[in-house]
Structure 1
Amino acid sequence: MRRKRVIGNWKMNGGLAANRRLLDELLPQLAALQGVEVAVCPPFPYLAQVAALLEGSGVALGAQDLYTVEKGAFTGEVGGGMLRELGCRFVLVGHSERRSLFGECDEVVAEKFAMALRAGLVPVLCVGETLAQRRQGQTEQVVSAQLQAVLRRSGIQGLAAGVIAYEPVWAIGSGETASPEQAQAVHRHIRALLGEFDRACAAATPLLYGGSVKADNASALFAQLDIDGGLIGGASLEAASFLAICQAASPRQEQERAQP
C-alpha cells in the first residue's frame, strides 16, 4: 500500500520570523499524526533555518528547484548536491510556474529530474495542462508528453524513484480545483501510462494532486483510488489549513470515510 504524502510548497513567501511562527504552531500538532509523510519546501534563502527548525520533527525538507548540472559558472543557480548538504530530501522539478514563467521545456525538466536523482534527492515531478489545453481535449496528450520526456532520460526505474504531482495549471492559485473525479481520471491515466513500461513501478509510484487543495476538499480528493496525497501551495502557509490537509491524508481518516 502506498503511503500518503503531503508536501507544502511555500513558493516565494516566508521570512525568518514568519517561518518560525508557522513551524512552532504546526510541528507539535504534526507530531501526533501517523501514516502520512509530510515535507515543506521553503525558498532557497531559508533552507538552513527551516532545516534547523525541522530537526527531530519527522517533517522532511524540500527545495523548490535545482539546476541541470552540479556546479560551475552558473550565477544564481543551485546544485543538487548543495541541497542535499543542507538536509533536503525532496526537490520540486518542472513546477508549472517554472514552465510558464521561466520557459522550462520538457527536456530541461527531464534533465533536472535526472540531476536530482544523481544528487540523491527525491524529485517531485510536476505535470499538468493549461485551461486552453483542457478545453481542447489535450489533457492526456500534454501530461503524457511531459512524462515521456522523463522516461526517455531516466527510464521507468528512475521515474518510479520520484514522486509525480498532477497540477492542472488552470487550478493553481485560482481558487478553482478539479473535481475529485476529474483529478482521479488524470491520475488513473498517469498510472496506466507507467504500467505500459512496468506494472510494479506503476503500482508503487506516489501520485499527488496539486491544484488548489484546501481543508474543505482534501478528504474527497485523497479518497480517490490513485491520489496518494497533495502538493499544497497557499494553504501550506497557514498552520491550521495545512494541518487539516495532512489529517485528511491519514489512514485513520481513510478508515472513517470507508465506514458505512
Structure 2
Amino acid sequence: MTQANFLTLHLSAFVRLSADDREMLAKALTKRVRVLPPRHDIISEGDRPRFVNVILDGWAQRYKQLADGRRQILSFFVAGDLCDTNVFILRKMDHSLSTVTQVKLAEISQFEFQEIMENSPRISQALWWSELVTVATQREWTTNIGQRTAYERIAHLFCEIFMRLRTIGQTDANGCEFPMTQAEIAEATGLTQVHVNRTIQDLRRNQLIELRGRRLQVLDLGRLEKAAMFNPNYLHLGHEGSFIDANY
C-alpha cells in the first residue's frame, strides 16, 4: 500500500471516492514532502500556518504547553490524518504539532486545498466528516479526563488507537504499533507517569493487553471496550456518508 492511500482510506470511511478523487489526492500529496525526526516540532504555537499537514507515515501529536513547561497532549495523528484543515483562518497557531516517531508528511497550500474542495464535492464532504470526528474525539478526551478513572482512561485510549489503525489497515490480528512513551500517555490522559505504569500493569494482569517493544497487543477487545466503557460511535467509521458516492 502506498502512503498516499492512507489518506484515501481515511476519507473513504466517510464517503465513496471516485478514481478522479483518488488521483487528485495522490497528486496533492507529492508536491511538498518533508521527513522529520522523532520528538520534533512540525509547527509551534505562535507560528503563522502556511500549509495543511497530512501525515503520510509515522505518528504525531497536538499539544499545549504551559509557561512552566507542563504539557497536555490533545490528540494523536497516524498515517492518513490531516492536521488542522482550518489553519488558514488563523494568523498564528494557538497550539503546537510535533512528531512522536520519524514522520513523513505532505504540505498542501491554501490554494491547492481550496482547489481540491471546489473540484470534488465528495472530498469536500469527506473533509467535513473528518472535522466532525476531530471535534467528537476532543469531546471524548474531555470526558476521559473529567469523568473516567485512570484504568478507564488508558483502556479507552488503547481502544481508540486500535480502532483508528484498523480502519487504515495498520493492525495485524490483534496487534498494532504503539510508539508512545508512558510519559506521553500520562500527558494525554492527565495522569502521573507512576499512575500510568501501575494502570498498565493492572491491564496486563487482567489479561486485556500486552505492551512491549513499541507494540500493543489487544488480548480481548470486547473486555477492553467494556472496561473503558468505549463506544466507537464518535469515530463515525460506519460509512455514514456512503450515499455520497462517486456519481454525486
TM-score (norm 2): 0.28
Higher relative contact order (CA 8 A, sep 6+): 2
TM-score (norm 1): 0.27
More helix by share: 1
More strand by share: 2
